[in-house]
Amino acid sequence: MIQDLVVATPFLEHVGNGSWIFGNGLWNITQGPIYATKLHYDGSDAIGAAVGHYAGYDGENNLQWQSASIVTQTDEYIDISFLAAEGELHWVIFDGLAGSYQYFVNHALPDISIFRTLFRLDPIRFTSGRTYLKDEPLPDFSMYANATKVQDETWQLANGSFITKYDWSNYVRERDFNGVYGHETGSWYIHPSTDYFSGNHLSQTLTVHRESSTGDTVQLNVVQDTSHFQIGVTTAQPKGKIWGPWLWYLNNGSITDAARQQKEELSKWPYHWLNDTSYQSRGSLTGSLRLSDDRPASGAAVFLGDTDTSVRPLAQGSNYYYSTYADDLGYFSIPNIRTGTYGLLAWSNGDVLGGVYTNFTRSDIVISSKEETALGDLNWVIPSTHTSIFQIGDFDKKAIGFKNGGAPYQHGLAALSPANLTYTVGKSNSKDWYYAQSNLGTWDVVFAIKPADRVSVRTALLTLSLAGYSQSAGMTILLNDDMILGVLGKENITSDPTLYRSGTTSGEWHLFQYEIAVALLHDGENKLSFRIDRYTLWRGFLWDSIILEWV
């Protein structure tokens, strides 16, 4: 068999029956019509009885390869294109590199929410998973046999704890490298750029896990996801759109070596060897955000996305996307942007801007090749006459700062929030408020109003910012026990899966505002209540911030 031969240079060989073998002197793999198997590396098969490598979209719509050819060949590498009806998956194999660069070029994908490639590998050889958030053994396959399945890919053990693939999720734009490894072998995905990922800073998706039906070790490479942790949408994919290149990298299981390789890839990106004009045509963007009260927009989240800035950032997935944060003076810069026209959005990332709940938007940002688009000073308009009565939590579209907010991904955590809670303004702090409200009961905010304030103003404004909502929980908002200010639930909020898929930080952001006539507020003590009157296990409201202010 060719897997047992040492072929020094990169190669592709058609072996009939819709199958090909390709690789170099360090590794080789056999590609069939759908699955690639028999990954020969370091003297043995790293896939074994597992399913192998494949690519697809939206569930099990796996691509079927019709042909393969070398489209570029140099003294250093070959670029192999595997062609399917939907597009072409490229493997770029360099001499002496354990692994391969990969990228996918769209030809005819339908509107999609998810696109991914992945390896399902030998579970004996690959026993642990590693992301930037988590590095530990994968659950042993035997654990699933005596566990109770409670929802998709989620099981409850006899001791009450849970195992789920969602616990291995993370934010795609914060990653360094993801992979699976054992004592002798590591398999890693390294993305030196995230410009081909959908969504903004808060886009999150799956990474690695144990396949519950077979025990395979799963190494996921989800490069498009507008579904798993947000309101599910499909987006059109332009012909010629490229996902990648990323590096699939093999080593002896060393995380230190994978980290070294990741730094090397960062230094080489954008890759000079990709022969695509639109990929190579890039410019840069700079600007300085300043609030209308003359404060710099310190630490603001900055997103370069679709020209239609009315489209939710997490629902954007047709084009290329860039994210960064402003510095202390509000200055931001984004290098190596594909040329084209974009929309710019910015919002508070908490801290200095913790009281700012408006967004900055600007359309028609033009990026030209080899040029810097300098936007100069940008004026971010915020309300100028509002005076805060109280605020709980910073506005940052995340549950950070609350009890359990930002905790490691874990299933069922929302159910541990109390049913009833009293928060007293001036005595309590954000850590006394929980990240998610789920159980039947009432959370009260007790606050005081000075008589002088009631004389000088006529209206108060209550602003509620939710970092996410998972149906079918229902909430009634009351003032002083009997005045209903509003009702929130599945009737007026579209659900996202974050809370029941182990998320503790963010899902889809929602903002609600309610005007309160000053006559409804008492001199002295008042009470604002959030009453959960419809309950579904593991669902509920993911909090971002609450502010009451005079307007």
Q: What is the pLDDT of residues 158-172, one digit of tens each?
A: 999 999 999 999 999
Map residue 255 onto helix, strand or coil: helix
pLDDT at 2 over 70: no
Instruction: Decide which of 455 and 418 is more confident.
Output: 418
The whole-number pLDDT of residue 453 equals 83
Q: Amino acid identity of 341? A: T
Distance of alpha carbon 36 from alpha carbon 47, whole angstroms: 9
- Mean pLDDT value across residues 295-313: 97
pLDDT at 281 over 90: yes
pLDDT at 326 over 80: yes
- Mean pLDDT value across residues 10-28: 96
Distance of alpha carbon 270 from alpha carbon 336, whole angstroms: 8
How confident is the prediction for the chain on average, in pLDDT? 96
Pairing of strands 148-151, 154-156: antiparallel
CB-based contacts of 35-39 (< 8 A; 24+ apart in sequence): 38/3, 39/119, 39/121
Output Rg (C-alpha) for the chain, integer angstroms: 26
pLDDT at 183 over 90: yes
pLDDT band at 452 (very low <50, low <70, confident <90, very high): confident
Q: Hey, what CATH topology would domain 387-550 get?
A: Jelly Rolls (2.60.120)
Q: Options 2.60.40.10, 1.10.150.20, 3.30.1330.60, 2.40.30.10; which CATH number does 281-380 get?
A: 2.60.40.10
The whole-number pLDDT of residue 1 equals 38
What are 238's two structure tokens? 């332009």
- pLDDT tens digits, 108-152: 999 999 999 999 999 999 999 999 999 999 999 999 999 999 999
The whole-number pLDDT of residue 7 equals 55
The whole-number pLDDT of residue 456 equals 77
DSSP string, 389-421: EEEES-SSSS-TTSBTTTPPP-TTGGGGS-S-E
- Residue 174 is classified by DSSP as G
pLDDT band at 3 (very low <50, low <70, confident <90, very high): very low
Nearest to 468 by CA among 546, 541, 415: 541
pLDDT at 262 over 80: yes
Share of the chain above pLDDT 70, in %: 99
The verdict on whether omega for the bond into residue 192 sits within 30 degrees of 0, i.e. cis, is no
The whole-number pLDDT of residue 454 equals 78
pLDDT at 457 over 90: no
**Which region among 2-6, 57-61, 181-185, 407-411 has the lowest average model confidence (pLDDT)?**
2-6
pLDDT band at 98 (very low <50, low <70, confident <90, very high): very high
Nearest to 12 by CA among 62, 88, 72, 85: 72
First vs last C-alpha separation in the chain = 78
What are 259's two structure tokens? 């980290």
- Residue 224, beta-bridge partner list: 115
Task: Return the domain boundaries, the chain.
Answer: 2-276, 281-380, 387-550
The CA-atom distances, in angstroms, between 18 and each of 4, 33, 34, 36, 262 are 21, 6, 9, 11, 34
- pLDDT tens digits, 339-386: 999 999 999 999 999 999 999 999 999 999 999 999 999 999 998 888
Cβ atoms 223, 284 nearer than 8 A: no
Q: Which residues contact 27 (CB under 8 A, 6 or more apart)?
A: 39, 40, 41, 98, 99, 250
- Mean pLDDT value across residues 320-326: 98
The whole-number pLDDT of residue 367 equals 98
The whole-number pLDDT of residue 4 equals 45
Residue with tokens 């910012």: 465
- Mean pLDDT value across residues 426-435: 97
Q: Options 3.40.190.10, 3.40.390.10, 3.30.70.260, 2.70.98.10; which CATH number does 2-276 get?
A: 2.70.98.10
pLDDT at 68 over 50: yes
Cβ atoms 290, 263 nearer than 8 A: no
